Structure 1
């Protein structure tokens, strides 16, 4: 299923997206017609449209496109909303002022997935605050990590500050049980924002350097597809596969009610 501005998408409609790869998106996990953090996803789409295209995305119209595409779907599904301009000219991207809304779906995986291992790379995403569709650098580093025997990549700033994972936010738990979100250029993930809104456990945002990793009690990855996923190793630093704070976060996140489409 692929709908563009509420109508079935054609091959011609998608050609520009495939060839120019300029735009932004958000992915949402829908469970029986509700989406946890739906308002945050819409906020992201509106905000990123200003940054990527310089125009105001119609929030209500976009929500109606999502509703139409999701009509009749039951169970658990991942919906992706991609905003791009089919008329974009690679020679004149500054002329692109008519972004369209593409809604696609795919099966949703079990949550949380098994623990993952990650290899670090010195890297900062372009426009880290935007969930843009330019994924080549991240997927290249994910591939490199997997060829080295790890599951995924973690990005590190040139000054040694850890930032985020390939397509997910990263956080740590210290030995006092405090959750530490890295202070660095990262995507403001919707799952991260919802977890940060919890009353407990205690959470802070602070620089986390590679040299700090051995002092941490646990690590986890988070996005809408994985919830709170244990990170069991970063490079040669091992973390426990079970930690009571991660269990607390999972239970609290599961208890956040979804917003009905």
Structure 2
């Protein structure tokens, strides 16, 4: 399924998105028409649209576009991409008229095996915006996978941990959740977990990871997924706090789209 402002998208419109690659998006896991953190997704779309295009979105219209494309039964991932099909590569400073592309794809399991990640010094451009330009993230994910890891974990030049390629990272110490004090994209799943479990933020260096009890990754596609290794360090994959977080997240009913 792919619709632009509630209508089938044309090849010309897709060409603009592919070649100009300027816009932002949010991805939602939809289960029988319900979305966990629906308010957070729409707040992100509005916030990012102002940052990227300098205009507001009609969120009621966006919601209706999403309803049209998403099945009322079953589970899927719906991606809402905001871009301007008329934007010209040489005149990106012109007034923008962003539209909404809704696409759907099958959703994976929320019970995934623990993963191993490779650290790399990298910071995304405008990390607070969920932009369509993810070449750097995918480049480092590819390099990590070719080195035998599952994904890449980003740090700054001082080895302060920020985020994963397309996910947030959290740590467990003394049954408390600790989120990195760094620049990263605040994920909707992370925001929901902060509502569900006592947590705080702290600066987390790679060299200090052995002082933590466990670590996990989180986004709408994977839910809560244990991290059992960072570079050469091994971490437990079965910490009970991660299981509690996973259960609390999966038991959230979500809001009707």
The two structures have a TM-score, normalised by structure 2, of: 0.98
**Which one of 226, 229, 233 corresponds to residue 225 of structure 2?**
229
Q: How does 1:151-230 map to 2 (within 5 A)?
A: 151-174=150-173, 176-198=174-196, 200=197, 202-230=198-226
Give the whole-Å Cα distance in 2 for the aligned partners of 1:94 and 1:41: 27
Q: Does 1:246 align with 2:245?
A: no
Query: In the aligned structure 2, how far is the partner of 1:204 from the partner of 1:178?
Result: 8
In the alignment, the residues of structure 1 paired with residue 28 and residue 189 of structure 2 have an alpha-carbon distance, to the nearest angstrom, of 10
CA contact (8 A) 1:87 1:96 kept: no
Q: CA-to-partner distance for each residue in 1:192-211, whole Å, 9 max, x for gaps? A: 0000011x3x3111100011
User: Considering only aligned residues, what root-mean-square deviation do their CA atoms show, in Å?
Assistant: 0.9
Task: Please give the secondary structure, in 1, of the residue aligned with 2:90.
Answer: coil
Task: Give distance in 1, aligned partners of 2:185 and 2:95.
Answer: 24
Distance 2:27 2:44 in 1: 11
Aligned twin of 1:51: 51
Superposition deviation, residue 92 in structure 1: 1.3
Q: In the alignment, is residue 90 of structure 1 matched against residue 89 of structure 2?
A: yes
Secondary structure of the 2:93 match is helix
Q: Extract unaligned runs of 5+ from structure 2.
A: none
The two structures have a TM-score, normalised by structure 1, of 0.97
Rounded Cα–Cα distance in structure 2 between residues aligned with 1:129 and 1:258: 24
In 2, the alpha carbon distance for the partners of 1:33 and 1:235 equals 39
8 A contact 1:160–1:210 mirrored in 2: yes
Distance in 2 between residues matched to 1:2 and 1:141, nearest whole Å: 28
Q: How far, CA to CA, are the matches of 1:51 and 1:240 in structure 2?
A: 39
Q: Check the 8 A contact 1:141/1:153 in 2, yes or no.
A: yes
Q: Does 1:124 align with 2:120?
A: no
Whether the aligned pair in 2 keeps the contact of 1:23 and 1:83 (CA below 8 Å) is yes
Stretches of 4+ aligned residues off by more than 6 angstroms: none
Distance 2:131 2:124 in 1: 10
Distance 2:115 2:72 in 1: 30
SS at match of 2:237: coil
Question: Could you say what secondary structure the match of 1:126 adopts?
Answer: coil
Distance 1:29 1:91 in 2: 36
Q: Give SS of 2:132's match.
A: coil
Unpaired stretches in structure 1, ≥5 consecutive residues: none
Offset of residue 255 of structure 1: 2.1
- CA deviations on 1:117-168 (whole Å, 9 max, x unpaired) are 1000001110000000001000000000011110000000112210000000
Q: Distance in 2 between matches of 1:161 and 1:227?
A: 24
